[in-house]
Amino acid sequence: MSRTRVKEKGRADDGGKSKFVKLEHWMMDTAAWKDLDPVARCAYIEVRRIYRGPGSNNGRIGVGVRNLSDNLGVSKDTAARALRSLQEHGFLVATTKGSFSRKIRHATEYRLTDEGCDVTNALATKEFARWKKNTVPVVRLTVPVVGPIGPCGETRVPSEPPQNTPYGPSDRTVTDSIGPSPDTHIGLPSPASSAVAVASAGSFRGKRPKLGADGKVAHVR
């Protein structure tokens, strides 16, 4: 039978042996905490779990990426990214970089910024309380629309068509007009050419046309 004592409020008293992870509401209401993804939040809880309280190991909290990935059930890359996110948001500060040589092998050690440092006896810095999201304006480049590639491989940029472009041997301006100009001579077929055309047609049919004195076709034999 358990011999744990029961307090007046109904809570079991185990002599101060129970352990818990502290998450204060004011910290969870900060912009830095709200910007963390779920994996980074779970990683912070795992780091707090290694912390043994004031005057113990803050500043010497060793967190291995492999152990963290096993506890969270994620890949090592995801676990390492979560630790970087906690540092960027001001919840953790790396005090000693990890080393994995043959003689010395230890994980990177961190310090919780919401607790006093047990190595230097410095007060809590709480960088996460001053964290602000980086709002860099997005610069959009405007690229002109280009036309199809020409026969020689060059890219043609569309431009306005030239007005009154000179053409012809005398560099005169060509304007749009309908019908021939007044000084344009249109040649008409002569009667002799008409007779020759008819004669050719008659010879093709096996008949021989007869021309009159005026050069016109009189009748066909």
Could you read off the pLDDT of 120-177 as tens digits, one per residue? 999 999 999 999 988 666 666 666 655 556 565 565 555 665 565 555 555 555 555 4
User: Helix or strand or coil: residue 220?
Assistant: strand
Residue reference for tokens 């000693």? 96
Q: Could you read off the pLDDT of 41-84 as tens digits, one per residue? A: 999 999 999 999 999 999 999 999 999 999 999 999 999 999 99
| Under 8 Å between Cβ of 206 and 217 | no
Per-residue model confidence (pLDDT) at position 106: 75
Tokens of 58: 């803050």
What's residue 19's pLDDT?
82
Order of strands across the sheet that contains 61-63:
61-63, 108-112, 92-96
Strands (E), 101-155: 105-106, 108-112
* Confidence at residue 49, expressed as pLDDT on a 0 to 100 scale: 94
Coil, strand, or helix at residue 193? helix
At 149 the pLDDT is 61
Whether 1 shows a pLDDT value over 50: the answer reads no
What is the spatial distance between Cα 43 and Cα 37, in angstroms, rounded to a whole number?
10
- Name residue 161's beta-bridge partners: none
Cβ contacts of residue 25 below 8 Å, gap of 6+?
none
**Hey, what's the torsion of the CAs at 29, 32, 34, 40, to 10 degrees?**
-120
Answer positive or negative: Cα dihedral of 42, 46, 52, 54: negative
Do 71 and 44 meet the contact criterion of CB atoms below 8 Å apart? no
Domains in the chain and their CATH numbers?
Answer: 20-130 (1.10.10.10), 189-221 (no CATH)
Position 144 scores a pLDDT of: 62
DSSP conformational letter for 38 = H
Q: How does strand 99-100 pair with strand 172-173?
A: unpaired
* Contact present, 48 and 94 (Cβ < 8 Å): no
pTM: 0.55
Task: Report the DSSP pairing between strands 61-63 and 105-106.
Answer: unpaired
